[in-house]
Structure 1
Amino acid sequence: MLNKIWIPLLFLFSLGCENEKPSNEKDYFDLVRAEFKGDLAYETTAYVSQYWRVAGNTGFNNSVHWIANHLEQAGYVLESVATSKDRLTYRIEKRPLKYPTWEPVNANLSIVGDSVPLLISETNRNMTYLNSASTPSKGVVGDIVHILDTLDLEKKSIKDKIIFTEMSSREVYKKALDKMALGIITYNNPSYLQPEKNKTSIQFRSLPPQVETHFWGIALSYEANERLKANLIKGKTKVQVAVETKIYPSEELTVVANIKGDKIPKERLVFSAHIQEPGANDNATGVGTQLEMATIAANLHKKGEIHMDRTLTFLWGDEIVSTQRYIEEDEERAEKIKWGISLDMVGENTAITGGSFLIEKMPDPSAIWTRGNDKHSEWGGRVLSLKDMKPHYLNDFIIDNFKKQGEFAHWEVNTNPFEGGSDHTPFLRANIPGLLLWHFTDQFYHTDNDKLDKVSKETLKNVGTAALASALQLLNSNESTALQILQKTKESAIERLEEEFNLSKTELDHGASLKEEIKIMKAWEDWYLKGFSSVLDMVGTSKSNFLEKQILNSQDELKKSVTYYISELKAQKKLSKQL
């Protein structure tokens, strides 16, 4: 029934667009596909992933200089020496760190009396807790005290001993300090890491900065945990621990590169990829993919094959911190950021890691009522409320473009409701349309088995191609683009409303509240009513009577459709009561 309601609108809309400028969407995909080979993205991933990266440390800073060197090779000019004629520029922002930076050097954990170490950092570089202090140079030997819960921690004597627990370190750290334990050894790998299969994986853990204290921590793999527990069953257990880390003052670096727009340069799209974290997929792949995107965009621009009405910005830095500061430190600049897209874990070989590529949507009603084809990742997300919704065309536009690349490359593209936790969140907090490109579930997520062998150059290429082609379309968007995206958004609305109606019918058959099902339908109605209006941001202050008329027509037809669906749900509920 819904399709019958919408067909006249779609037909009239198509007639109204006959004299509009043809879409250049295909051209952008063709241009980028011809250039994006994935070589630089993969090479950068390999370079960055060799380091355990924290803001200010050697690996982080070397990665920054790698990025800067390749930007210069691509034609970007350092802002401090650029002239007004230079359209491609970059800068490295430097700020003092509140706390010293940190990096691991070496670590060894052995059960006294055993010839084979439990762990060594050469094969398990995540065994040392982030921010862990060093032990004395010859290491320490101490009795293990097995702590089962917080009550156990209160009862047992741990002074000058080593705590072993399968609880989170957050639950034991403060008490361990107060009671003068030597350090902690923990195990708590989540089930999605498949620890019984990936027995050597260690998911990295962290302590508060060890500025005034000298506490250390060791995280165990499943294999090491089982060995240690088996030894504890036999009786009293001593371990020898040697940890060497570097903790030193440093500065935080952020790279910002721009291709300046030639018509509306203050308006911009911002890509953001964080450098810190120790893995290959997380997030050396985001760093590498974004660098190849920046290089290709520069090459196409220099050759005159593309122009940009608005400014394209690439940002590399410390996750959330750098992106949030970029937004907050310049209110005038922030007002003109039209779109923000985060690249985080974008290069996975899913045949090895599991899961699939995902587009994490801006908050929409699927983050309140997650049902049907919508599914949260195993990362999970809190249930949002209607006040958290961010209606906008960006969700459907990006999904549609990535699906096109998926069809072209036989590559799986899926979505998940909003969950947060990466560089898209500062954009959303500032009411800037923003979403996340990523992968999950990943059985090596945050572990020391997140290595280059889990990275796919083809995935790097697919993500980078779709992201850059989408950006070029948005940066040069105008009334014609707005009309095209309005139609795509309407098509998505048709599919969504029909799906939600069918889901609600089923829910009513199982005794669900009619009031709740109507609330869901009205939430999606509100989402798309506002989503249709959001395409006006492509024409800015320009008056577009035709576009505004099409938006109003679309909204009227949407309201009619929702009214019809709600009347059908009411009729179904009434009939079920009569029966």
Structure 2
Amino acid sequence: MNHLDPVRFARPILTTGGLLLLAAACSSSGRGAGAPTDAGLGPLLGGHIGPAVASSPAGGSGPSRFVPPLLGIFEQGAAMAIATDLDAFYRSPASDGYERAIDRVIAGLYGAGFGAEDGFELQVLSNSMSEPAWTPISAEINVLGMRGGDIVARVPLAGFTDPADEFRLLIAEGAPSCSVQGAAVFRLEDVIPGAILVTDQSVRSVEQEAVKRGASAIVSWFQLPYCDDPTGQERQIEAIFQGSVRPGATIPSFYVSPRIADIMEVGSKQGSTFELVARVRREVRPLRTAVASIRGAERPNESVYVVSAVSGAGANDNAAGAAGILEGARALKRLIASGQIERPRRTIHFVFGKEAEAGGTALDEKADTPVAAIVADMIGASYEKTGAICLLERGWDPAAIVSLPPDAHTPWGAGSVAEEDILPNGLSIVLREALVDVGLAIADESGPPWSTREHPWEGGSDHDTFLGRGIAAALVWHFTDFAYSTSLDRMDLVDAEELRRTSVAILAAAAAVADARPGDLNRYMASLAIERDLRLKASTAEGAPSGLREIWVDWFAGTEAWLRALTAGKALPEFEGLRALDSISTSADR
């Protein structure tokens, strides 16, 4: 994004008793605004960007056995209703909003028969937290009109009293209650005791120095580099970042949009001071995680995990993810109960809780052998409104260290993984087939085409926990979403059909792994051969690092063994990691 000069007002600023009436005076230029454009977003052509897959035989194979019945029974209206319910709350871990959201999830599962019928289990896990639960109650930022040291007028600039309000992210997560008045400064080096620091840096990055200099509060208009409206409407100038403070921080801390920061700077130049008020509640309570399970028919002690986060403050991140997986679990149960599909050979666990922790909590509680995990994070974004498409983030494979075409990282950026931790598995083959199968089924419905893509591992969600324990894992998400982690991430940016498609792909892949059959193997082997040819050609092309081909050869040999064991209903092979990559230079990464 472009950081421009403070906003130039489109019309004169009115005054009352010397107080600027700033709230309605801001135009759509200024901080966070790029060059206006009417270009918008081009149409999606459909298809999967990544290695191709083999065609599914008549009668289905792997995920294609489950895609048609799941598409037919998945109730997208119910999923959207759940997402809307969850999005009404700021779901900080174990907070009032989180508690109401997890109660909604538990009620939805129990109402479908989980925890009440044989073979369909429901468990609620409780764990202590290192910090008390934090619930934001209200906040406000006011412009003060002063005369002779007295407040003669108070004009609201932003505020909320309802957890569903558009300004609910004003208080940085974990920040204290406060009532602060003072003048604003806009550079850290200008802070004097009692000043309110307004900055484009994150609260965490300036907090310690601001406290040392005597700041009374921090107001940040920080935005992530990809918070740039792809439609040209410049909606990012209204975006408030979802930020937090360090544990134990005591300085009042707020986040605002670039527009509000502009208003504060213009007002400050004309002599206005500001008032920051926040009310939060802290309470010691356990963090709850819900786990619904479909017990396997033949190998119940082996399991597949499907993980979604209830925590957060957004609709796509991650009310829609939790809602899609909740409805997906219910849809899969309905198919089993009606006899349309058989109970899977292995158990499937559906996990709902705090992002980046719920998966580990469930793993620690369950005494079975995990086979694979699929994490559903941000799975309903509207391409037309956000620019995001459905992505498969593969687990740790050689491309996580050295990526070659057709792989390309997202703006999230590459993660760091040790080569000895890379263990071959075929989960990405199954998920890739599931995405393609859903796209083909949608085409048969004469619906608009579905575009999906994949990329190497980048990290940042629950799949890291499973990968770190040697378990095959992958992430399904939507990116690049300009509203990610901001106040703009609300239900108007969620697409019901996108949520249905993505949820069905995840559920079909999970069911295919849990119920892998010998008849699935031929297609998996054919898809694996397509990818093998692609990767080996790329790894021997001019400019590719020497030694990379041998690493991929080892990967594919192990992946083939993994898929053969999975479909045969045998214990998965144990690997000690790929050969050392010390001889490989990553300077050729593209």
Alignment TM-score, normalising by the size of structure 1: 0.80
Q: Which residue of 1 aligns with 2:22?
A: none
- Superposition pairs for residues 284-323 of structure 1, below 5 Å? 284-306=319-341, 307-323=343-359
Q: Distance in 1 between matches of 2:571 and 2:509?
A: 25
Partner of 1:476: 515
Q: CA deviation at 1:470?
A: 1.9
Are 2:525 and 1:486 aligned? Answer: yes
Q: What residue number does 2:586 align with?
A: none
> Pick from 285, 296, 307: which aligns with 1:250?
285
Q: Which residue pairs with 1:184 in the alignment?
A: 218
- Counterpart in 2 of 1:168? 202
DSSP 3-state at the match of 1:199: helix
8 A contact 2:518–2:568 mirrored in 1: no
Give % identity: 24
User: Is the contact made by 2:227 and 2:483 (CA closer than 8 Å) also made in structure 1?
Assistant: yes
User: Match of 2:96, as an amino acid?
Assistant: T
Deviates more, 1:31-40 or 1:423-432: 31-40
| Structure 1 residues 4-33: Cα deviation after superposition (integer angstroms, max 9, x where no partner) | xxxxxxxxx99xxx9x99846543222212
Q: Provide the secondary structure at the position in 1 that maps to 2:237.
A: coil
Cα distance 1:526–1:107, how it changes in 2: closer, same or farther (>3 A)? same
Match for 2:402 among 348, 369, 377? 369
Q: Deviations over 1:257-289 (max 9, x none)?
A: 111112110001110001111000000011101
Match of 1:67 among 105, 123, 129: 105
Q: Deviations over 1:285-341 (max 9, x none)?
A: 1110111111111111212222221111101011111211222355x42xx110100
Q: What is the DSSP-based 3-state SS (H/G/I as helix, E as strand, rest coil) of the residue aligned with 1:191? A: coil
**What is the CA–CA distance in structure 2 between the aligned matches of 1:542 and 1:194, rounded to whole Å?**
49
Matched, 1:263 2:295: no
Partner of 1:226: 262
Deviation at 1:521, TM superposition (A): 2.3
State the alpha-carbon separation in 1 of the partners of residues 500 and 570 from structure 2. 36
Which one of the candidate residues 403, 409, 420 is aligned to 2:459? 420
Residue number in structure 1 paired with 2:27: none
Does residue 128 of the first structure (1) align with residue 163 of the second (2)?
Answer: no
The residue that corresponds to 1:144 in the other structure is 184
Contact persistence 2:180–2:217 (CA under 8 A): no
Write the mapping of 1:264-283 to structure 2, written as runs, cut at 5 A: 264-283=299-318
Quickly say closer, same or farther: Cα 1:230–1:456, change in 2 above 3 A: same
Partner of 1:48: 86
Structure-2 change in CA distance of 1:389 and 1:228 (3 Å):
same
Q: Any idea what the Cα deviations from partners look like across 1:479-535, whole Å, max 9, x if unmatched?
A: 33334322321222123333444xx23x3xxxxxxxx53323223222212211221
- Please state which structure has a larger fraction of its residues in helix: 1
Q: Is residue 350 of structure 1 aligned with residue 383 of structure 2?
A: yes
Which of 271, 274, 289 matches 1:239? 274
1:530-568 CA distance string (max 9 Å, x none): 211221431578599xx9xxxxxxxxxxxxxxxxxxxxx
List gaps (5 residues or longer) in structure 2: 1-53, 146-152, 443-448, 574-590
Q: Across the two proteins, how many residue pairs are aligned to each other?
A: 497
| 1:443-463, Cα deviation, whole Å (9 max, x unpaired) | 100111101000011011101
Q: Answer yes or no: is 1:92 the counterpart of 2:124.
A: yes
Q: Which residue number corresponds to residue 9 of structure 1?
A: none
Distance verdict in 2 for CA 1:541–1:140, change over 3 Å = closer
* RMSD of Structure 2 on Structure 1 (CA): 2.7
Could you tell me which residue of structure 2 aligns to residue 6 of structure 1? Answer: none
Of 354-363 and 96-105, more deviation after overlay is shown by 96-105
Question: Which protein shows a greater Rg?
Answer: 1
How far is the alpha carbon of 1:388 from its aligned partner?
4.3
Query: In structure 2, what is the Cα distance between the partners aligned to 1:535 and 1:440?
Result: 29
Structure 1 contact 147–165 (Cα < 8 Å) conserved: yes
Contact 1:270 1:314 survives alignment (8 Å)? yes
**Which residue type is aligned with residue 73 of structure 1?**
G
**Counterpart Cα distance in 1 of 2:558 and 2:278:** 56
Alignment of 1:77-116 (within 5 A): 77=115, 86-113=118-145, 116=155
Task: Pick one of 160, 173, 192 that aligns with 1:158.
Answer: 192
The equivalent of 1:552 in structure 2 is: none
- Give the direction of change, closer, same or farther, for the CA distance of 1:343–1:350 in structure 2 (3 Å limit): same
1:437 and 2:480 matched? no
Deviation at 1:95, TM superposition (A): 2.5
Native 8 Å contact 1:162 1:182 kept in 2? yes
| 2:360–2:465 CA contact under 8 A, matched in 1 | yes
SS in 2 for 1:172: helix
TM-score (norm 2): 0.79
Question: Are residues 475 and 166 of structure 1, via their aligned partners in 2, closer, same or farther at CA, if it must alter by over 3 Å?
Answer: same
Deviations 1:107-128 (A, max 9, x none): 1113323875332234322111
